[in-house]
Amino acid sequence: MALLDWIAPENDLRLEGEGVRLRPHRSGDFAEWADLRARSREFLQPWEPTWPRDDLTRGAYKRRLQAYAHDLERGLAYPFLVFRHSDGAMVGGITLSNVRRGVAQMGSIGYWVGQPFTRRGYTLAAVNAVTRFAFTRLGLHRVEAACIPTNEPSRGVLLKAGFKHEGLARAYLRINGIWRDHLLFGMISPAPASEQRHEDVLV
């Protein structure tokens, strides 16, 4: 697959969840993505890395797509946008990243939701869809996630999705310009190891 071919609709990877559908980013998503992120900036910024000054520009979005395509082609990360089934509105995003093969067979989940769409179950549905994808389609053995201790909604999502709280990592990630402690969560595939698929790339 050429570097940017996967952005085209005919090469879509789609996941379905309760009330939501997930697919990779496209160039045509820029306006809706930028608008949702801009409207949600004050809500999102406390939980995310510092946004570059040009983060919501078309040029920065194009670079983002190029990075996503590079990682997807190599099976390193699987970024998705999340859309509401009822009307197709974009509600947020979720990424399975840092996919490691070999003896690890694991990846990490990170997600965001636009402020107008909080507390409606969309993030939980997206997390459930991506963990199913990780365990069944990719054959991973373990999925990890982390959140700042004061982020009660995120902690609740992970626990409802079946993740187990495994500990605390001090100064784990640089969030909004500050190294922040994070709670660590993990989930193990429900399938026996002998039944798990082991794919180096998505086909």
Q: Which amino acid is at 8?
A: A
User: In which element (H, E) is residue 108 found?
Assistant: strand 106-113
Q: Which amino acid is at 167?
A: G
Eight-state DSSP code of residue 50: P
Place of tokens 């085209």: 8
- What is the CA 17 to chain-centroid distance, rounded? 14
CATH number for the domain whose boundaries are 12-140: 3.40.630.30
What pLDDT was estimated at residue 4? 43
Query: Are the C-beta atoms of residues 58 and 30 closer than 8 Å to each other?
Result: yes
What pLDDT was estimated at residue 9? 43
Domain ranges, ordered by start, for the chain: 12-140
Q: In the beta sheet, which residues pair with residue 186?
A: 144, 164
3-class secondary-structure state, position 80:
strand
Q: Alpha-carbon distance 150 to 69, whole Å?
A: 33
Per-residue pLDDT tens digits of the chain, which is 203 residues long: 344 444 444 346 899 999 999 999 999 999 999 999 999 999 999 999 999 999 999 999 999 999 999 999 999 999 999 999 999 999 999 999 999 999 999 999 999 999 999 999 999 999 999 999 999 999 999 999 999 999 999 999 999 999 999 999 999 999 999 999 999 999 999 876 555 554 433 43
Eight-state DSSP code of residue 90: E
User: Whose CA is closest to 55, among 37, 73, 68?
Assistant: 37
C-alpha distances in angstroms, 8 versus 13, 33, 60, 78?
Answer: 10, 17, 19, 15
